């Protein structure tokens, strides 16, 4: 399918979330018109203020429950040229299995049907999946590519159902959502005028621009990195593996590229800037912002260990989407920490 160029209208779901707000911002700054979906008018009003410099090029629709059939019908019309589906639940703990599968699987299936029925001029569908949909290899240092799937999580979910632990359930939900997209496109190939691109970021960190009034209201990944930075850790454990990372601003740029690059249609792309230990994180933060207080310094005398790269390769995304070099761990962590401190959280 042809690429979507500005000033086309792009429907962005989950626009009030951590990733969704940054994607909407990047799409607006690229010259597109953005129609976002939010769960409440209050969240929409916050975003209208956040994006007020873009004037009428940003609007929103309230969708209280995206898991219901037809929930997205009123957000779609002939003016929409592309769709970015960033809505979903990325909380592993403290949620019912039905809530997670409803947000991450049912909503996707219903959304696709709404696009079929009401998005007659849609030319591209871009879905935010997760690198969690790749995992399952026994080797910690295995480097995943776009051809791999977390079938282990799907098998466990199939066996245990609602008794599946939160992490595995989330992983399975992203696999099943992607496969639902693939199946839908294949089944309705003669009826639709759009292709589907899937983007799989690893753990996504970076500055916070969406609405949150306390640390408890932060998105899960921001809470996680903030804890990594501020919680004491035993000296003998500072070189333990902490996480993969990619900056949310790089993720947003990749979604814009997925709209603009013709060759992105129908493809699957991984986004991973690298892996880090806790000491890597402390050192990168200190190097970037030596005067900032409140974070751990770790064990300065501990032997340093750095991973050779990410456990997922982003080579395909960087080549096809023509992405700029990913932001460093230090820039990502410092900007996130500053954004939280500036809010007084």
Encode pLDDT of 215-240 as tens digits. Answer: 999 999 999 999 999 999 998 899 99
The predicted pLDDT at position 92 comes to 61
For residue 310, with 0-12 CB atoms within 10 Å meaning exposed, 13-18 middle and 19 or more buried, which class applies?
A: buried
Residue 133 lies in a domain: yes
Domain that holds residue 91: 9-205+244-276
Residue 148 lies in a domain: yes
The pLDDT tens digits of the residues spanning 253-297 come to: 999 999 999 999 999 999 999 999 999 999 999 999 999 989 999
pLDDT at 128 over 90: yes
Residue 137 lies in a domain: yes
The predicted pLDDT at position 94 comes to 59
CATH of the domain at 28: 3.40.50.720
Residue 305 lies in a domain: no
pLDDT at 334 over 70: yes
Of 93 and 226, more confident: 226
Tally the domains of the chain. Answer: 1
pLDDT bucket at 210, cuts 50 / 70 / 90: very high
3-state helix, strand, coil in the chain (%, to 5): 45, 15, 40
Give the residue among 96, 89, 97 at the shortest CA–CA distance from 157.
97
Residue 272 lies in a domain: yes
Residue 238 lies in a domain: no
Average pLDDT, the chain: 92
Lowest-pLDDT range, 8-17, 43-52, 228-237, 292-301? 292-301
Residue 138 lies in a domain: yes
Q: For the residues 332-338, what does the mean pLDDT come to?
A: 98
Residue 170 lies in a domain: yes
The predicted pLDDT at position 178 comes to 95
> Does the N-terminal peptide bond of residue 234 adopt cis geometry, omega within 30 degrees of 0?
no
pLDDT at 102 over 80: no
């Amino acid at each position: 399918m042809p690429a979507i160029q500005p000033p086309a209208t792009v429907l962005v779901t989950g626009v009030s979330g951590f990733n969704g707000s940054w994607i909407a911002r990047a799409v607006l700054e690229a010259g597109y018109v953005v129609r976002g979906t939010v769960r409440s008018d209050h969240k929409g009003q916050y975003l209208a203020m956040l994006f007020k410099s873009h004037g009428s090029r940003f609007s929103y629709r309230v969708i209280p429950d995206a898991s219901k059939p037809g929930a997205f019908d009123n957000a779609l019309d002939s003016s929409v040229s592309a769709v970015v589906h960033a809505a979903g639940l990325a909380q592993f703990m403290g949620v019912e299995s039905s809530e997670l599968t409803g947000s991450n699987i049912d909503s996707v299936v219903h959304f696709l049907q709404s696009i079929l029925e009401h998005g007659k001029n849609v030319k591209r569908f871009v879905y935010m999946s997760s690198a969690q949909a790749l995992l399952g290899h026994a080797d910690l240092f295995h480097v995943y590519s776009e051809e791999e799937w977390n079938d282990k999580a799907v098998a466990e979910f199939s066996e245990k159902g609602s008794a599946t632990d939160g992490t595995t359930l989330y992983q399975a939900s992203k696999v099943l959502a992607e496969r639902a997209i693939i199946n839908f496109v294949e089944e309705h190939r003669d009826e639709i005028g759009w292709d589907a691109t899937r983007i799989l970021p690893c753990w996504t960190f970076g500055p916070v621009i969406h609405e949150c009034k306390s640390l408890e209201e932060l998105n899960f990944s921001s809470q996680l990195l903030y804890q990594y930075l501020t919680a004491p850790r035993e000296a003998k454990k500072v070189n333990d593996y902490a996480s993969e990372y990619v900056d949310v601003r790089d993720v947003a740029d990749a979604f814009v590229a997925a709209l603009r690059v013709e060759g992105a249609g129908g493809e699957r792309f991984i986004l991973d800037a690298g892996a880090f230990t806790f000491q890597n994180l402390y050192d990168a933060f200190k190097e970037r912002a030596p005067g900032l207080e409140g974070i751990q310094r770790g064990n300065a005398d501990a032997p340093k260990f750095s991973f050779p790269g990410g456990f997922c390769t982003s080579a395909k995304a960087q080549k096809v989407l023509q992405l700029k070099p990913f932001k460093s761990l230090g820039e990502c962590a410092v900007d996130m920490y500053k954004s939280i401190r500036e809010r007084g959280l």
